Chains A and B, each alone.
Chain A
């Protein structure tokens, strides 16, 4: 099913989606765009490159309350926090980020114990993917092509959107996508010329240049295992690293979290909060022992987790080449260059 709408009327579309559920889309903030709930249809803005923080926030919010308790009361009286999930439309997700959801699904959804929060949020959400504008060159930090993702790749989206002149073409990719498009009365039918344009755009998207190298998951996984003990390599790569958490927080596939109790005057909440392997205290044990005391060990953990451990455990690299970690690193550490150097090491 291919539908279309005039970009001028995009706010009508926003209003219609808001009637049917929660609409989340990139919203302009001081330093750039971030996914946020659209409260006013006029807020919907298609003029962005990508968001600062990845849309993983929608399924894995930085803080997730599990249970409310009172320390003076028996455990049995603690109240689990209800999720109250509403139908959600995640609008304007770039192809690399849509792909990241599939990678995260393997961890939260498809392996071992199911994470109920991830699953319920994911099940309630329709993804409206949006192609990068092929007339604008990809940003220097991006390398999604290396991970086999095209600039107009519909994979991972329920509905995929491509701009055509003054129109926005919207194609249903999954049954959920079909369903929602059928319910949006203001959409026009795509013409054969639109279909042709859409298909060609997607093809053209796979040629859209980002930084690119030939990368076989099994080969890089093995390579990183081989150089795991090369202190020299990792120390050189991490010489500038500040050991802050930006790279992991903006990343669409970093999921590590901590579980904390936050108590104020005997009332409290147990919740999970994002954590980062780059933080000094990430592996600090109650005994005071810390198996990763050096910056190089932490950066190595991050890189190897994505490009080696994840491949060994789940079969795929846990990186989509969105370039956020590189773009926001205060000292310009670039995971692409590290992988390139690792392949040569």
Chain B
């Protein structure tokens, strides 16, 4: 079990060092929200801020989401769990941020929980990794010996459905959408400005929360994240009406991995699968 207190202390220690030495102007971490169960993403900008940093099992936000909010900062330190680190790797690959401009404070963590349901966050709704794939400093013991379940195992029921059933499933799910756009806003990979759905000349989809527009928004977003989604599950946790968005992302991720032998954001030296071409690439995608 992860020693959350130990990680919090290490996080504070490293944040303090970095801010004191002025090596970075900002450390992205977590702070207490309105109670302990509801922490918040936090940008510590001074040594005095360091005391406000917390880390517990509810700190499941993907902090990579905030990395582009500080265009003036020469260097940013960021607390990164496994999924956050994968998101950072994709952002580096996509040249949204440079590796040398980051100090990645890696957090190995298992036992993270969703405050809404108190359920364990694991490979059912996320990539199910425990250790960051890329870091400068590791703030706790690397987690070993955990039972690993494939992040795609949860797809069994979904894959058992035929085409019509899948369409009906998604139509039913996406009809619930109220178009609050929390999914894209919580997503570390959704940085388009403006997002296609906000463009109004021409408008790609109706603004009203009804079938055609909802489909247009979600299916386009799903596909725009093909080969890029790092399966952090933030979109699904953010959704106020409980749409299991992770299922689609997992399905696409699985197909990408099968076709191109590479999962998103695992290695810095990888190229994003959909912008890379190799002669030996699967042509399954064209069928």
Taking the complex as a whole, does A directly touch B, i.e. does some CB pair lie under 8 Å apart? yes
Interface presence of B194 (CB below 8 A):
yes
Instruction: Select from chain A the residue with minimum beta-carbon distance to B193.
Output: A280
- The complex places the Cα of A281 from the Cα of B115 at a distance, in Å, of 31
Q: Is B241 an interface residue (CB 8 A)?
A: yes
Across the interface, do B40 and A242 meet the contact criterion of CB distance under 8 Å? no
Residue-by-residue, is B150-187 near A (CB-CB < 8 Å gives 1, otherwise 0)?
A: 00000000000000000000000000101111101110
Contacts of A243 in B (CB 8 A): 185
Report how many A-B pairs have Cβ atoms within 8 Å: 110
Rounded to whole Å, the gap between the CB of B89 and the closest CB of chain A is 21
B208 contacts A330, C-beta separation under 8 Å: no
A332 in contact with B207 given A29-B241, A30-B241, A62-B178 (CB within 8 Å): no
- For the complex, what is the distance from the CA of A138 to the CA of B99, rounded to whole Å? 46
Please state if B242 and A239 are interface contacts (CB–CB under 8 Å): no
Task: Say whether A53 contacts B178, CB under 8 Å.
Answer: yes
Known contacts A62-B178, A244-B182; A273 and B207 CB within 8 A of each other: yes
Stretch at the interface among B120-128, B129-137, B232-240, B250-258: B232-240
Give Cα A337 to B33, complex, Å.
9
With beta carbons under 8 angstroms apart, the residue of A62, A239, A250 that contacts B42 is A239
Asked whether, in the complex, the Cβ of B40 is within 8 Å of the Cβ of A240, the reply is yes
Partner of A332, one of B39, B184, B198, B200: B39
Closest A residue by C-beta to B244: A30
Contact B178 A63 (CB under 8 A): no
CB–CB A330/B238 < 8 A: yes
Decide if A336 is an interface residue (CB 8 Å cutoff). Answer: yes
The answer to whether B206 has its CB under 8 Å from any CB of chain A is yes
Closest to A260 in B: B207
Interface centre among A52, A239, A246, A330 (most CB of B within 10 A): A330
CB distance from B28 to the nearest CB of A (A): 9
CA distance A333 to B61 in the complex (A): 13
A331 within 8 Å of B (CB atoms)? yes
A343 to chain B, nearest CB (A): 15
Contact A258 B207 (CB under 8 A): yes
- The listed residue (B200, B209, B210, B241) touching A31 by CB distance below 8 A is B241
Chain B interface residue bracket vs A: 35 or more
Q: Which of B69, B194, B210, B241 has the most CB of A within 10 A?
A: B241
Give residues 295-342 of A contacting B (CB, 8 Å): 295, 326, 328, 330-334, 336-337
How many angstroms from the CA of A149 to the CA of B180 in the assembled complex? 28
Identify which of B41, B179, B203, B240 contacts A239 (C-beta below 8 A): B41
Chain A contact residues, majority secondary structure: loop
Rounded to whole Å, the gap between the CB of A138 and the closest CB of chain B is 13
Quick one: which of A31, A240, A246 contacts B182, CB cutoff 8 A? A246
Assembly CA distance A30 to B241 (angstroms): 7
- The reply to whether B34 and A334 form a contact with Cβ atoms under 8 Å apart is yes
Contact residues in B for A337 (Cβ distance below 8 Å) = 33-34
Q: Which residue of B lies closest to A275 (CB)?
A: B207
B34 and A244 contacting across the interface, CB-CB below 8 Å? no
Q: How large is the interface on A (under 10, 10 to 19, 20 to 34, 35 or more residues)?
A: 35 or more
A250: nearest residue on chain B (CB-CB)?
B240
Nearest B residue to A268, CB-CB? B206
**A residues within 8 A CB of B65?**
242
| Interface contact B61-A331, CB-CB below 8 Å | yes
The minimal Cβ–Cβ distance linking B57 to chain A, given in whole angstroms, is: 14
Please provide the chain B residues from 9 to 67 with a CB less than 8 Å away from any CB of chain A in the complex: 33-35, 37-43, 61, 65-66
**Contacting residues, chain B, for A246 (C-beta < 8 A):** 180, 182, 238, 240
A245 contacts B by Cβ under 8 Å: yes
Identify the interface centre among B40, B115, B180, B242: most chain A CB within 10 Å of its CB: B180
Q: Does A29 contact B176, Cβ atoms closer than 8 Å?
A: yes
B39's nearest neighbour on chain A, judged by CB, is A332
Distance (Å) between the CB of A266 and the closest chain B CB?
Answer: 15
Give the chain B neighbours of A260 by CB distance below 8 A.
Answer: 203, 206-208
Complex contacts, A250 vs chain B, CB 8 Å: 240
A244 contact set on B, CB distance < 8 A = 180-182, 184-186, 238
What are 12 pairs between A and B in contact, CB < 8 Å?
A: A30-B242, A53-B240, A62-B209, A140-B35, A240-B66, A242-B65, A242-B238, A245-B180, A246-B182, A249-B180, A280-B198, A281-B198
Shortest 8 CB-CB distances between A and B: which pairs?
A31-B242, A330-B238, A332-B33, A242-B185, A244-B185, A63-B208, A244-B182, A332-B38
B residues at A contact (CB < 8 Å): 33-35, 37-43, 61, 65-66, 69, 115, 176, 178-182, 184-186, 193-194, 198, 200, 203, 206-210, 234, 237-242
